[in-house]
Every structure is written in C-alpha cells, then in structure tokens.
Structure 1
C-alpha cells in the first residue's frame, strides 16, 4: 500500500478524504524538496514553510515558543507537511488541535509523501480544509469564543496572497498574538493597576466633535518637515500626539491637546517624564501604569477589542471598545473617528524608513539609521520608492481598511516621502494651513474637560 493510500484510509473526515481522492486544480504553487538534513521541506507560492536545512528542528523550536498551558484549544494555521501538528501532539497530547489549511493541494502533497498516521488516528486533531473565506472566518469566530491559542507561522502568512480573504483577518490576529505572547504578564499587571485609578472612559468623548477637524501626530521622519505647522493649526484642529512624538513637539514649543499611549512597556514612562505636559492623556487599559499614574493632567482610559479582560470589564460596565490595529497610531485613528471628527490629517505617519531613518529627530523612540537591503520597497507619496518592514506594511493595510469602511470622514496624509496609504491622499502641509484660516477657533483642551466633568 502506498503512503497516499495508507494515509487516506486513516482520515476520519469523509468529506476531506473524498476531496483528496478527487482533487480540483487550484492556482497555487506547492513543491516538496529534500532538506540538507534529509527530511522533506515544503515551498508554497515561492515561500519555504520550513527551514531548508533542518525542517524538523525548525518546527520543534517554533512550537516550543507557542506552547500555552492555559489554552483549551490550539488553532494552527497551515498544515504543510504536518511537522507543526506532530510537535503539538508530542507537547500537548491532551489538548484539542484544530488545523486550518485553505489549500487542498498542500494536504494532498503531504499525504502523498509523509506518513501521517499518528495525526489522522489521534482523536484530538481536526483538519479543516475550507476554500471559502467567509466559512473559515465563521469557524475562527466560533473558536475565538473558547480559550484558544492561535498559532500563525510567519512563513505561512507570507505565502498567503494579499487577495486571499483570510489574509487581513490573520494579520490582525498575528499582531494581537505577538503582543500578548511577549507582554501578557505585563499587560495583566498594568490592567489591574490602571483600573484602580477609576479614570473616565474615552467613550464619553465619542460623537462630541462632529464637524470639527483633527490632526494625528506620529513620530515618523517626515514630522521634522511639518511640525512647524502645528503652531498655525492650534485651536483650529484638535491635536492628538502619540507619546513618542511629544518630545519633538516640546522642542518646537508646541503643546498638543492630548497625548495617547498604548504600549505596556516601561519605556513609555520616559515619553512623558519631564515633558511638563498637563493636558489630557488617553491611554489603553493595558498601557504602562507608571506613565499613567505619573501624569498630572486629566486621564482618560480606553478599553480595547482583542484583550479578554478589557472586553469583559467593558461588557459589564456597558462601555465601548476601541480597535487597536497593533500600534498607537492605529488605535488613535479609531478613537478620532469615533469622536466624530469630519477631517483627520496625519503628520509624521511615514510607515516607512524615509530619509533612511525610523523616527523624527528628538523622538523618544530614538533615530535608527537604516541600511538593511532586505527591507521591503513601497511607493512613496512623492513617487519614489522607500524602504519599509513587514509589520509597517501590516499597519498600512490596517489604515487602508479602516479608511475604506469609514464614511463621512475626509483623510489627508502630509508625509511626502512616506508610504502611500490608499484612501489617504497626500496633501502638502501648506494647503492644510491655508484651509485652516477660515475655521472657527476652539479650545479643545477646555472642551474635553467640560465633557468629562459632565458625567
């Protein structure tokens, strides 16, 4: 009996077995090659899913980094050659393992070449091969209701085309998982401490600024070219700055109407310490608690989607949740949209290493000089090509999806050498200044205080 016949005979899922027996050609490129160590490795759409040298060791190391003893269910994306599944079974034999593989030819290649009997015979393993994106997303939403540990190998995510219905869903999930995996204990500690302050919830500001305009200030290199404009825009546009840009504003004698922080790490404390900033601080429920407690002005807390404790607390208190998108700027954009602004202008949102730097001068995030030729290249607003990273590209696509789903808001981007963000056309800062001249003045700091104190 061939490896294929032996594997097929063991597959409990009759529908999957029938589809593997009568495969339909799909427009994907999947190949198997021998590795340097001997065991085969797999290449999907031009991307190797495992090491070309020692795929078994590669799979073992990866799964070791993903184990969560508190999880009830593991959901693994990508069946590949079954190496990750086999490692999970060795380390967590009593947990349910759900494997999502959108490409039937991948499973077919595996059953033709690898003895997978231990996987197909194990009662805790379910293999789902669903072509339809919506059906798969429904399955994932059901899994999300359980205590599920999501496992998304980077190589598999890269191999999934941008056009695939799951791509964006998984990118967002990957960002959440990366953050939670690295900082789960710190986030929990911050959450507990931040709740003690009993600060006002950001939802009190939602829909209170209809028809007014806002500027979101980030710390990208282009901020050096546009920061001067904020003096002209003060009291015309609501100025919300991310924490890492606050020092840049201070160096230019500019006081924003509010600052936002979201990161749980202690370095956030340095973004505010010594800045003399006493206006409103908007902070995520899991943000660095020492930075929060050290702030002398009004504090406003935001509860985020994707963090179980925040979702639970907000549900009990009937408070709204905010989308985070994985970064402080994406979180800030969602909050500004919910506050009701009719126009949102981005300053310093390069999403690329323009000027061969990562941040503006004086940013508390530091200024990284970039020379890595392996970075991605993307189109900039001035028509040139600039370098960026995978994570910045994921943030850019988040911005683009948020803009596409948001009605009745005008978005503008002033980062001339920053990456193009679809739906956020480039507008020179001089045009923004000119348009602001006819706007009525508003003391936004005072307005926020009045709104919060009403409750």
Structure 2
C-alpha cells in the first residue's frame, strides 16, 4: 500500500492512501469530527472502526462515546507507525482502544451491540484487491441505503400495518417442489420475454414491480408481483395498469403504493429491521432474508413457498452498452456518465459494466447458490455471470419444461387468499 503524509492547510497532518485522501486537505480533524457526529449511533456499547490512519476517527469516537470500547481493524500494519509519528498517538495507550488486524476473527464481539463504522474514503482507497474489500463494501452499501430511507421506512411500516392483507405464513410450502420464474427488469428481458411468454404456463411467475409493465405489454400477467421500495417513486410501478393480482409487499414499502393496488395483498417482514423483528416475534410471523434488493427478496420468498427450481429473467446485474433496465421498466434505464463503474465477466464471456450495489446482489446470489437446495438458472446471456448459477438458453429452457405439467397458480393463490 502506498501511504503519503502531507501538511493540511490548517497546519496539521493529513494522509493519502493509494492516491486517495483519507482526510480533508484543509481541516482533517474538524471534518472527521463532523463525520463521526453524523455517523454515530450512541446507544451501542462498542464500535468497530475500519482504518487507523493517523487516529483521527478513533480520537473523535473516544470523545463522543467516552464509555464505549472501540475495536480498530487495520488496513495495513504500517498505520501503527504513522499514527505514532504523525497522528493522535495518545489513543494507542487508551484502554478503550483494541487494535486488531484483518486476520483476527471477531469471535468475542457481540454484533447486536456493535456499530460498524466504515469511512467511505477508506473503502475507495484500499481497492478491490484488499481481502476485506468485498465484506466492507457489502456492509457500507447497505448502511448508506438504510440511512437514506430510515425515516420513511418507519412511516411506511406504521401505515402498512393498517392495510387489509394476508401474512406470509399462508404461502409456506405451497409449491411442493414446483418451478418458478423470477422476473426482474434487466435489459436482457427485452430478448427473453418471448421465451417467457411461451413457457410461463408451466411455472409460477413472480415479477418485481419494475418489470410489471414490460410483462403486461407482452400480454403476460404474472401470478404475483413483489415490491419492496420505500420511496414514493415506486407508485409508478402500479399506476395506470390493470393488474389486480396478488401483491407481496415489504412492510416498509411505500404505503401510497400499497393503497393504489386494488387486488389482494400479502405483507412481508424482513430480517434485520428492528420493527419487523419485534412484530414477527410478537405475532408468530416468519421473517425473510432480503439480500438488499427486491429480486433477492423475491428469491427468498420463492424458497419459502417451496419451489425447487428458479429461472431468473432480467437478472443482468450489469450492462454491456448504456441500457441498465428493460424497455418500459419503471426504473431508470440509462446509466449516469459521472459514475465510476466496475467490470464483471458476463455469461457470454465478455466483460460488462456494473454498479457496486449490483455486485453486492450478484455475490448474494452466488452465496445463496451454495447453501440452498433449489436449482437456479439464469437466462441473461449478456448479464453478469453468477457463479453456481448456470446460463440457460431459450431452447434449453423449453427442453427442461417440455414434460412439466401446466400449473394454474393463479387459481391456487385464489384458493389460499379466499380461505378463512
């Protein structure tokens, strides 16, 4: 790792790692104090901080939470020397500080009582080859997403509990080993929607909300739709459609959207969200692993319903040109030119662009493929390659479904939601 110590404009030291400034060039300590003030959740008993550097973040944490234990994960052992010579060396003698390196397993730390603090600049500076990058990126993206919508999630949760809906437990193991399509809104859906239309009678079709209008345009009415987005923009996914089928929606999803839908609704509660976990514990309601996206949540739902085969449609998790979503998708389908992309291998052997959050979801599917009994196939030829999830062409899909019985899942669902 390439470290560079410089004088900041205020006379104190600042630090670069791999040509990325870890602190401000002007007022390093003051800016770090503002970051910690904004980031800190005071009810936690201990903190895990990634990166020691010159010790500025640790010093601010000590001042803001004087009774807490702070574990500092080193990005590089050279940080200890840098902190001693140029930084807040006194923190290294504080009994509340525990220095650990990336090889140490945090077995004695209760994560339920611990906040992980990952300064974004550190994540950028260590680079994708650092052994902790993938884990830290996953955590950071979820933290940032949650922080952006925490307030409206709480509002949605309270409002959605007032809806007339069914609980997820009604749908447990209803599939009895059947086959399913999980339809997302990636650009490959433009090409695969034809084969989906030709074969959907044999499978349960669960569509994410942003893919609904694309399917309806082709005359395909999914058996169910799933929506998890807490923002009001998600209302567009149902507006001006005639869809009145079953809607699975997250308890924190936009409550205006749930009011728009005039069909049957089933509410979902996610793992890791305190209000959901509290409600589930009090009402014997199952929780879903969400994975951070509507598609990963949909996958968990299909697993809960008992399906043994899942065919992924529109699950590109990347894009080869400049179109990120299918035609008619309610998600923005053109990339932003000011974003720095990552590249991943696609099913066709080429490298394609992807976003950091797409990569997080891809890794979730890869991990899921190793610990589920479900068979998973991906139909996105130009989409990102998901290890453990083989690509399946339209002809191969037809062969696999050639002997499958025609299933009227709409009728099955109607029977479930009509029973008392």
- Please report the TM-score for the alignment, with normalisation by the length of structure 1: 0.83
Measured after TM superposition, the shift of residue 402 of structure 1 is: 1.1
The C-alpha deviation readout for 1:299-336, integer Å capped at 9, x for no partner, is 11111111111111112222221111111111111211
The C-alpha deviation readout for 1:59-110, integer Å capped at 9, x for no partner, is 34533441445655544222232122223345x2446252331556144233
Contact 1:260/1:328, CA 8 A, preserved across alignment? yes
221-230 or 70-79: bigger deviation: 70-79
Q: Verify: 1:143 aligned to 2:143, yes or no.
A: no
Q: Secondary structure at the match of 1:353?
A: coil
Contact 1:244/1:365, CA 8 A, preserved across alignment? yes
Q: Verify: 1:391 aligned to 2:357, yes or no.
A: yes
Measured after TM superposition, the shift of residue 434 of structure 1 is: 3.6
Unaligned runs of 5+ in 2: none
CA distance in 1, matches of 2:180, 2:166: 21
The answer for the alignment partner of 2:5 in structure 1 is: 33
Q: Please list, as runs of the form range in 1=range in 2, the aligned pairs for 1:71-110 lying within 5 A after superposition.
A: 73-90=46-63, 92-94=64-66, 96-103=68-75, 105-110=77-82
Q: Verify: 1:416 aligned to 2:387, yes or no.
A: no
CA distance in 2, matches of 1:131, 1:373: 29
Unaligned runs of 5+ in 1: 1-28
35-44 or 342-351: bigger deviation: 35-44
Q: Secondary structure at the match of 1:245?
A: helix
Contact 2:227/2:253, CA 8 A, preserved across alignment? yes
CA distance in 2, matches of 1:139, 1:162: 27
* 1:330–1:305 distance in 2 versus 1, CA, 3 Å: same
Contact 2:55/2:83, CA 8 A, preserved across alignment? no
The answer for the alignment partner of 1:11 in structure 2 is: none
Contact 2:170/2:416, CA 8 A, preserved across alignment? yes
* 1:295–1:101 distance in 2 versus 1, CA, 3 Å: same
The answer for the alignment partner of 2:403 in structure 1 is: 438
Cα RMSD (Å): 2.7
Q: Verify: 1:425 aligned to 2:390, yes or no.
A: yes
CA distance in 2, matches of 1:427, 1:120: 55
- Please report the TM-score for the alignment, with normalisation by the length of structure 2: 0.89
* 1:106–1:209 distance in 2 versus 1, CA, 3 Å: farther
100, 117, 122: which one aligns with 1:129: 100
* 1:242–1:317 distance in 2 versus 1, CA, 3 Å: same
Q: Secondary structure at the match of 2:267?
A: strand
The C-alpha deviation readout for 1:24-45, integer Å capped at 9, x for no partner, is xxxxx3634325646545556x
* 1:398–1:185 distance in 2 versus 1, CA, 3 Å: same
* 1:371–1:437 distance in 2 versus 1, CA, 3 Å: same
Contact 1:79/1:106, CA 8 A, preserved across alignment? no
CA distance in 2, matches of 1:369, 1:101: 35
110-119 or 177-186: bigger deviation: 110-119
The answer for the alignment partner of 2:258 in structure 1 is: 292
404, 415, 419: which one aligns with 1:450: 415
